[in-house]
Amino acid sequence: MSAPQKSKEGLSSLQIIFLVVAGFLLLVAIGVGFSKSTAPSEDSAADERIAPVASVATESAAAATANAGKRSGEELFNSACVACHGAGVMGAPKAHDKAAWSARLGGNLKALAASAVKGKNAMPPKGGVGDATEEELSKAIDFMMK
């Protein structure tokens, strides 16, 4: 009875080794599968799927950034300055009122732009447009002076 028992034990040892090896291979397979699912190729597939939305979002952000510093005088005026300079509220020199503008700093555009950057009394610095450049402000003032 000892011989069959031995062979049975031997078989079960082989089975254990087989199971350990199989289990190890399974873990490796799962590991490979998992790393594949998070591999860059899968990510780029996801990038492709969200590409239309992502590019729209990026484009509009780029447009906003591209616009900053490149607004025309009229654009900046219409987006901000018009609130006060349109009707001349709080003593703001009215847009297109040449006399009112030439009375300010002798109508010197450079000096007026510098003043607009700093702000004056009820006039907020940069007319409240934080990202406006002095050049843009200058164009907006030029637009209001005419």
Contact set with ligand HEC (CB under 6 A)? 76, 80-81, 83-85, 90-93, 104-105, 112, 115-116, 120-124, 127-129, 132, 137, 140-141
Q: Using an 8 Å Cβ cutoff, are 93 and 144 in contact?
A: yes
Q: Closer to ligand HEC at the Cβ: 8 or 110? A: 110
Give φ, ψ of 26 to 5 degrees. Answer: -60, -45
24: tokens are 């190890």
State in angstroms the smallest separation of the CB of 62 from ligand HEC.
23
Rounded Cα–Cα distance for residues 110 and 104 (Å) = 12
Q: Closer to ligand HEC at the Cβ: 31 or 91? A: 91
State in angstroms the smallest separation of the CB of 93 from ligand HEC.
6
Q: Closer to ligand HEC at the Cβ: 46 or 90? A: 90
Q: If we measure between CA atoms, which residue out of 86, 123, 87 comes closest to residue 104?
A: 123
Which residue has its beta carbon closest to ligand HEC?
127
State in angstroms the smallest separation of the CB of 130 from ligand HEC.
10
Place of tokens 């899968």: 42
Q: Using an 8 Å Cβ cutoff, are 101 and 144 in contact?
A: yes
State in angstroms the smallest separation of the CB of 80 from ligand HEC.
4
